Chains A and B, each alone.
Chain A
Amino acid sequence: LAKTTQPISMDSYEGQEVNITCSHNNIATNDYITWYQQFPSQGPRFIIQGYKTKVTNEVASLFIPADRKSSTLSLPRVSLSDTAVYYCLVGDGYSGNTPLVFGKGTRLSVIA
Chain B
Amino acid sequence: ETGVTQSPTHLIKTRGQQVTLRCSSQSGHNTVSWYQQALGQGPQFIFQYYREEENGRGNFPPRFSGLQFPNYSSELNVNALELDDSALYLCASSLERGISYEQYFGPGTRLTVT
Contacts and interface: CB of A to CB of B under 8 A. Distances in A.
A9 to B, nearest CB: 12
A2 to B, nearest CB: 10
A91 B43 contact: no
Contacts of A45: 105
A18 interface: no
A79 B92 CA distance: 27
Nearest to B46: A99
A90 B97 CA distance: 14
Contact-residue bracket for chain A: 20 to 34
Interface stretch (B11-19, B48-56, B62-70, B74-82): B48-56
A90 B99 CA distance: 8
A84 B57 CA distance: 28
A46 B50 CA distance: 20
A7 to B, nearest CB: 14
A56 interface: no
Interface stretch (A59-67, A70-78, A100-108): A100-108
A42 B98 CA distance: 23
B100 A96 contact: no
Contact of A99 (B42, B56, B96, B106): B56
B55 A100 contact: no
A95 B104 CA distance: 19
Most buried by A among B42, B43, B108: B42
Interface string A82-96: 000101011111111
